[in-house]
Structure 1
């Protein structure tokens, strides 16, 4: 199964530029996810690969075969690309049985009736629905309909599978089960897959690599571990998982360890970074809620960075406790296994647990909203 190559892709609708110089390569058999908020351009990118949208600029090829080359006037129609696609709505024909839904793409390809029966049975068997071929879509659960849509995309052996938020219509528990099942199926088939979602957990759980998009731009491509642990920009850190941001100024350096004066509280913290950041430069410090330890103010705490804070709210959410604490004029989110904390507490973290970005970012909405609530 071939690799997918997208180069310098751009798309405009009138005066609105929705894709800007998007470039990436998907390896053979890879599960590649386009991740971002609504309107970031991820579905438009997928539709350009599928042939449902024609790019304004750039090129797309699969296995070396050109699908699109805007400069040379090349545009292969969708029906000639042999790509399988599953839409968010599943797009099943309600008046057709499951078998007939799967037969439709085979009829278009003029596959013989005898061969159709074998292909339909095999495709439904892959998704565990071989015994339901005579039912209609309304007689199936949402999870079963999602599997039928996937079977229909696989029935004609596509070179690449395109999935546009296929799990978004499922409830939380079923979605989690479907996610695990989909990952197993993709690995068993070894099919190159392009997946679109705004769900960060889904992206982290399913993907070999993730491309994070914002405002029509691709801002980072990496493995789930790279995206989460080493985000290339504050926007990535903010979107993938939760993150606390603090603006400040560099006031000293010892090797790769920087001393930073925080704007919110006038505390000085130490953070490790391999970047070269001049003294007095404005920076943003980012740290995940689970990387912060919260302890009673009177407890002995080891750690380079120890900050006095005040608990605003605390909640038990099953596997952990979630706290909102006040540090100066800012609210900090903390995840902890320690319950029952109130009043004055200490936040503790090591220099290697935080990240430095060489620019200032606006306080995320959830942190500023919480600050208003907590005052």
Structure 2
């Protein structure tokens, strides 16, 4: 399967620019996800790859074949690109059986009837629906309809598979099952796959690499581990998973550590050095994931280099695998995720400087302490 190369891709609708010079290379056989909130440009990018939208500028190539190049006025229509597409709505024809839905793209490609029967059988076998070829879409569950849509995209052996939020119509439990099944199928087929979603957990679970998009820009491209543990901006940290943000002022920066005086309680905390470098007196934001904050017991000493903070529990929630607490730190609140039940009153927290990310101060919203206090009574 080939690489997909996107170069200087931009797209305007009237006076509004929705894509700003996107540059990406999606590797052969990779499961690559475009992740971001609604309106960030991820589906528009996918539509440009599919040929459903014409970019304003830029080029897209699949392997050594150019699909679109605005400079040379090259544009291959969707039916000439041999790309498989699965839409969010599945787009199954309701008056056609499963087999007839799969036969349609084969008829368009003028595949003879005998070959059609074999290809349809193979595609349905891949998605586990070989015994449902004569059913109509209304006779199938949502998960089965999703598999039919995927089989239809695979039946003509596309070079690249394009998936636009194909699991969003499924309920939570079925979605998790479909996610695991889809990942296994992609690995078995080895097909280059471009996946669009706004669901961070889904992106982390499925992807070899993720591109995080915001307002038509590429913000960060990396593996799921890199995106989660080393977010390039506070915005990425806020969007991918949960994160606490505390503003402050740099007190000192040296030896791979930065000391920050927090606004919320006046305490000094040590963080890893900022990638861009900071100076004393500069305003910054300290970010730390809830699960990286450790709750100390009376008989447990903090690690030698840890930041030790004292807070007051405002509220607690049990979410099955862990307990989640809102904890007051001065005039702000942080979220803490731990396996320890029943925490109340004043508690002591320890945070390793290496898990404290540092960014220039942004407009990231911190929890409203007054609102939390009111809710918790």
Sort the TM-score into its range (normalised by shorter chain): over 0.9
CA distance in structure 1 between the partners assigned to 2:130 and 2:351 by the alignment: 54
Tell me which residue corresponds to 1:100: 100
Tell me which residue corresponds to 2:371: 372
Tell me which residue corresponds to 1:141: 141
CA distance in structure 2 between the partners assigned to 1:233 and 1:371 by the alignment: 27
The alpha-carbon distance between structure 1 residues 97 and 31, as it changes in their structure 2 partners (threshold 3 A), is same
Deviations 1:48-86 (A, max 9, x none): 000000001111010121111112211111110000000
The alpha-carbon distance between structure 1 residues 184 and 300, as it changes in their structure 2 partners (threshold 3 A), is closer
Q: TM-score scaled by structure 1?
A: 0.97
Q: Secondary structure at the match of 1:368?
A: coil
CA distance in structure 1 between the partners assigned to 2:300 and 2:331 by the alignment: 25
CA distance in structure 2 between the partners assigned to 1:141 and 1:342 by the alignment: 45
Tell me which residue corresponds to 1:263: 263
Q: Secondary structure at the match of 1:55?
A: coil
1:66-145 superposed matches below 5 A = 66-145=66-145
Q: TM-score scaled by structure 2?
A: 0.96
CA distance in structure 2 between the partners assigned to 1:299 and 1:169 by the alignment: 49
Tell me which residue corresponds to 2:315: 313
CA distance in structure 2 between the partners assigned to 1:280 and 1:57 by the alignment: 43
Alignment check: 8 A CA contact 1:272 1:352 kept: yes
Deviations 1:131-177 (A, max 9, x none): 10000001011100000000000000000000000000000000000
* Structure 1 gap segments, 5+ residues each: none
The answer to whether 1:227 aligns with 2:223 is: no
CA RMSD of aligned residues (A): 1.2
CA distance in structure 1 between the partners assigned to 2:165 and 2:125 by the alignment: 23
CA distance in structure 2 between the partners assigned to 1:362 and 1:248 by the alignment: 13
Q: How many residues align?
A: 371
Structure 1 ranges of 4+ moved more than 4 A: none
CA distance in structure 2 between the partners assigned to 1:374 and 1:348 by the alignment: 23
Alignment check: 8 A CA contact 2:274 2:358 kept: no
Tell me which residue corresponds to 2:336: 334
1:1-375 superposed matches below 5 A = 1-273=1-273, 275=275, 276-295=277-296, 300-303=300-303, 304-357=306-359, 359-364=360-365, 367-369=366-368, 371-375=370-374
CA distance in structure 1 between the partners assigned to 2:11 and 2:334 by the alignment: 39
Q: Secondary structure at the match of 1:121?
A: helix
Deviation at 1:254, TM superposition (A): 3.9
Q: Secondary structure at the match of 2:333?
A: strand
Q: Secondary structure at the match of 2:40?
A: coil
CA distance in structure 1 between the partners assigned to 2:348 and 2:49 by the alignment: 51
Tell me whether 68-77 or 232-241 shows the greater mean CA deviation: 68-77
Alignment check: 8 A CA contact 1:257 1:271 kept: yes
Alignment check: 8 A CA contact 1:301 1:348 kept: no
Q: Secondary structure at the match of 2:349?
A: strand
Alignment check: 8 A CA contact 2:252 2:279 kept: no
The alpha-carbon distance between structure 1 residues 228 and 79, as it changes in their structure 2 partners (threshold 3 A), is same
Deviation at 1:295, TM superposition (A): 3.5
